[in-house]
Structure 1
Amino acid sequence: MSRPLKPTRSTVHRKLHSCTCLPFLQFFGGGIYAPDPSTYDPIEILLNAETEEERNELTAKWRDNKLSELNFVGVVAALLAGVLTSTGSWPSILPSGELSPWPIRTTWYCGIVLSLFSLLTAADQTVRLHRLSSHRDGLDNVRKLLAKRVRKKKGRQASAEDDVEAQIQHHHQYQRSNMPGAEMSQERGATHEHAVRHVLQPGLLQVVTWQMPVMFLTSATICMIVGLFLHIWSATPHVGRMGTWDDDSKVAVTYTVVALVAIVLFCVGQVALYSPIRK
């Protein structure tokens, strides 16, 4: 029995890499927002495992880890939605006590919508995984869902497994007319192994879809942070004109310094987690 081959850099893999083409922005593809190899590779490996038992084991492991991830994302999204909803009752820090400017309210309202959709997509994917797994052929159905779909000549959409089977049948017909029995059997097995290992790939839409709860949650968090910046600095329109530093100005400067330090440390951590995966 030959050893399983490592997944090759497929078209879907290259498309995911091109989403973060700028070198100094590639760490955003480390899984916290855009899909990365840690998202794509496990799916490709479980689709192309050598034996049925190994495929089932890897599929069950992927499903269990994905359910844990969705559960965590759903809890965090619910907490973030609660925090953003409570911003409407925060006391106004504007000197005149007027309503906050529209950009502040807009960013927070967008954050509420994004966090709710993060919660909704996490719940939807959790329910779908549980229902697929409850079927007798649940693990096989999960793999069929994850596999990329191809277009047949008739125009109907078919799964990658169907495309592999068609290639195998075509090859068998050709071999029967041109090869002796023993050699034909060996070549048939090699062709089947090659087709299973190299044709099945995760669909780009599937990879992005399973990343959506995290993408919505990250976007909502960004809206929350941007809204805080706008909210605090909206109380200091006089800075630089009157030459005085009141309490609002001190709060704004202190918050900005702490927030920028936290953002820099977060980016450093993302680069540290991103680099070993890409190498």
Structure 2
Amino acid sequence: MELIAVDYNAPDADKLFVESLHKTGFGVLKNHPISQQRVSSIYQHWQDFFNSNEKNDYAYDKKNHDGFFSTQVSETAKGFKKKDIKEYFHYYPWGRCPEALKQEISDYYRDTNTLASELLAWVEKYSPAEVSAKYSQMLSSMVTNSEQTLLRILHYPPLDGSEEPDAIRAAAHEDINLLTILPSANEPGLQVKGTGDSWIDVPCDFGNLIVNIGDMLQEASGGYFPSTTHRVINPQGSDQTKSRISLPLFLHPNPEVVLSDRYTAKSYLQERLRELGV
């Protein structure tokens, strides 16, 4: 499997991007509209937050799933027994957020959500007729005014030797949602499952924006758009002392959206959250 970057400004960008999503479950965009300066600023400000005790004032809400998830309550990937070595904050416009960080992250959420909706419209445009027939409604309408789209600020702390044996920063998993929008993290480690037992390193280059299919779009498309497995491996040597920050936006449909004969968006999400143990 090869991930080829598509120029966002190219006249056939939409077609090439959707072809990549169909073939690999991933699309890579270059010359995209997400500001590197803004993302770098967010990384620095939230690194300070994760380094502080203030994060504990925002312990996650078990009902709404907003706020701070510590390493003690973070996810255990489906099929694994060890928790991932990570902590994170769930940002929703309606949820809690430190006041000093709110404006910057709110602006980023708005602009990235707009881009994600545009990319979903590309998927809709280039879905074959037999695939479009499976959609219970237009893909773009599934996310109209959705309050479920999640921005996760992820912090993988430095490794200090106290980690459980065989635990890694993010065990192999697939995302739950429709599309995930991911600017480059500040450190490498992301890998995509290739053919057989192979894993492909995703370059830590801000010029590339990574977009991947989530399980909900796989379900809605009858498998035409595959939700590809990915993971974040542990650093080696001196890099073990470095934190890693990443900023995935998970584009979610409204809860009542019918994905298939088996699931609504709400029932699918609830099932997966139980599997993740959060």
Using structure 2 for the length normalisation, give the TM-score: 0.24
> Which one has a larger percent helix, Structure 1 or Structure 2?
1
TM-score by structure 1 length?
0.24
